[in-house]
Amino acid sequence: MSLFVTELRRLGKRRVTRLMLVLLVLGLATVATAFSFSSEKLSPVVVAEAEAKANNDYQSAMTDWKRNVAECEAAQARGEKTEERYGPNCGKDYQPQPDMFEAKWYLPYQFDFRAEFPMFIAVFAASVALFGFIVGASFVGAEWNTGGMMNLLLWRPKRLTVLGTKLAALLTTVFGLTVVLGALWTAAFWLIAGQRGSTAKMTAGVWQSIGLDGLRALGMTLLVAAVGFALASLGRHTAMALGAAVGIFAVSEIGIRIAVAVLGVQFGDRYVLSTYAQSWFLKQAELFDYDTCQFSQGACEPATYVVTWQQSAVVFGVALVGAVVAAFWTMRRRDIA
C-alpha cells in the first residue's frame, strides 16, 4: 500500500478528525435549519396584509394629526400659547405622507438567494477552514508528540517525502470535504430560497460569480489547513499551531489596531489580517478616513483606500509559502530523536 493511501486512511480514522467532522456537519445543518425558519415567502396574501397594515397606520396617523391640529386651533382661539405643545403652525407642516408608510417595511424577511448567498459562502468557508486548521495541526502535531513520526521515519526514512505526503493527504481530504459539503450547502440554501425565499434574477452570470466565490472559499480552506499543519510541524505539537493562531489574532486584531490608532496612521485597517480576509471574499474592502472630511463645510466624501482580492492573495500566499517552507526546512535539518 502506498504511503499516500496509508496517510489518508490514518487521517480518516483519527478520533479528532471524526469528532470535528461531526461537529462541522451538525453546525452547518443547525445554521441552515435555523435560518430556514427566519425566512418567509412573500406570497400575494402576505403582500396584501402588509399593504393593509401600512394603510391602516397611515390612516391612524392622519387621524391623530387632524385631531392635534383641531385642538391646537381651538386653543389658539381661546388665546392660549400653542407653539411649545403643538409646534409652529400647529404642526400643519408635518402632515403624514403615504411614502412614510411603505408596505415593504411591513413585510416579513424573505431570503434572496442572489443577494445573500455569497455571505453564507463566507460562513461555510470559515467553518470548514476552522475544521481544516484543527485537524491539520492535530494530524502532524500528535505524530511529533507521541513519537509516531520517528517510528514512521524508520519505515520510510525520507523526511521531506513523509511530511509532504502527510500534507498532501490533509489537503486532499479538506478539498474533497469542501467540495461535497459545499455542494450540499448550496443545495440547502437553494431549497430554502425556493420554498421560503426568492430565486429571482438567477442568470448565468450570477451562477458564475457564485462559482468564483466558491473557488475563493476552497482556496481559503486549503490555505488555513496547510498553515495549521505547518505551524504544528514547526513546534512539534498541536498546541503550537493553536497558540500561534491566538497570538496572530491578538497581534493583528488588537495590537495593530491600538498601535495605528495611537500613531494616527491613515487607513490603519490595511495592516489587519481580517481586512484581507474580507477583501478575499467580497472581492474588495473599502476603508474610509473620516478625519479628512470637514463636516463644518457641509457634506463631503472621506478619503478612501481599497484593498483588492489580488492584494489579499499576495498576503495570504506569502504567509502560506513562508509557513510551509519553514516547516520543510526544519524537518530536513532538525534532530528527529
Q: Could you write out the DSSP letters of every residue in 141-197?
A: HHHHHHTHHHHHHHHS--HHHHHHHHHHHHHHHHHHHHHHHHHHHHHHHHHHHHHHE
Q: What is the DSSP letter of 257?
A: H
- Same-domain pairing of 273 and 233: yes
- Same domain flag for 236 and 170: yes
pLDDT of residue 162: 82
Which range is most confident: 14-28, 53-67, 138-152? 14-28
Say if residue 50's pLDDT is above 60: yes
In this prediction, residue 296 carries a pLDDT of 53
Residue 306: strand, helix, or coil: strand
Q: At what angle do helices 159-196 and 15-38 cross, to 10 degrees?
A: 20
Mean pLDDT for the stretch of residues 191-206: 91
Q: What average pLDDT does the chain have? A: 87
DSSP output for 92-156: GGG---GGGG-GGGGSPP-EEHHHHHHHHHHHHHHHHHHHHHHHHHHHHHHHHHHTHHHHHHHHS
User: And the C-alpha cell for 30?
Assistant: 443547525
pLDDT of the residue at 217:
94
User: How many CA within 13 A on the CB side of residue 245?
Assistant: 19
Average pLDDT over residues 32-51: 88
Q: What is the largest CA-CA distance in the chain?
A: 105
Specify whether 27 is located in the same domain as 174: yes
- More confident site: 151 or 100: 100
Please indicate, yes or no, whether residues 181 and 92 belong to a single structural domain of this protein: no
Report the range of poorest mean pLDDT among 149-153, 199-203, 271-275. Answer: 149-153
Q: Is the pLDDT of residue 184 over 90?
A: yes
Is the domain of 99 the same as that of 151? no
Q: How confident is the model at residue 147 (pLDDT cuts 50, 70, 90)?
A: low
CB 238 within 8 A of CB 142: yes
Number of folded domains in the chain?
2
Residues ≥6 apart with Cβ < 8 Å to 177: 21, 128, 131
Q: Which pLDDT score, from 0 to 100, does residue 24 have? A: 96
Q: Are residues 160 and 54 in the same domain?
A: no
Query: For residues 125 and 221, is the Cβ–Cβ distance under 8 A?
Result: yes
As a whole number of angstroms, the distance between CA 122 and CA 129 comes to 10
Q: How far apart are CA 290 and CA 307, in angstroms?
A: 17
Res. 85 pLDDT band, cuts 50 70 90 = confident
Q: What percent of the chain has pLDDT over 90?
A: 40
pLDDT of residue 268: 84
Residues 229 and 282 in one domain: yes
Long-range contacts formed by 164-167: CB under 8 A, 24+ apart? 164/328, 165/3, 165/4, 165/7, 166/7, 166/139, 166/140, 166/229, 167/226, 167/229, 167/230, 167/324
For residues 204 and 336, give the distance between their C-alpha atoms in angstroms, rounded to a whole number.
54
More confident residue, 193 or 264: 193
- Span of 27-41, 142-156, 301-315 with lowest mean pLDDT: 142-156
Task: Look at strands 303-308 and 284-289 and give their pairing.
Answer: antiparallel
- Residue 173 scores a pLDDT above 80: yes
- Residue 82 pLDDT greater than 90, yes or no: no
Alpha-carbon 71 to chain mean position: 54
Contacts of 97 (CB under 8 A, 6+ apart): none
In this structure, the answer to whether residues 177 and 49 fall within a common structural domain is no
Residues in the chain: 337
pLDDT of residue 95: 87
Domain endpoint, select from 88, 106, 124: 106
Asked if pLDDT for residue 74 goes beyond 60, the answer is yes
The pLDDT, as a whole number, for residue 151 is 64
Per-residue confidence (pLDDT) for residue 336, from 0 to 100: 56
pLDDT at 295: 57
| Section 167-189 average pLDDT | 96
Report the pLDDT value the prediction gives residue 235, as an integer from 0 to 100. 83
Domain of residue 278: give its range: 2-42+111-333
In angstroms, what CA-CA distances link 113 with 37, 43, 152, 164, 284?
15, 17, 49, 40, 21
Are 81 and 196 members of one domain? no
- Whether residue 313 sits in one domain with residue 190: yes
Q: Is the pLDDT of residue 333 over 80?
A: no
Residues of the chain with pLDDT > 70, as a percent, come to 93
Is 227 in the same domain as 157? yes
Q: Which residues pair with 303 in a beta bridge?
A: 289
When mean pLDDT is compared across 178-187, 238-247, 288-297, 318-327, the lowest value belongs to 288-297
- Interatomic CA distance for residues 194 and 187, integer angstroms: 10
Q: What's the confidence (pLDDT) of residue 71? A: 85
Q: Which of 61, 83, 106 is the last residue of a domain?
A: 106
Residue 98: its pLDDT value, please?
Answer: 85
Q: What is the pLDDT of residue 335?
A: 56
**Which of the listed residues 106, 136, 156 is the one where a domain comes to its end?**
106
In a shared domain, residues 166 and 230: yes
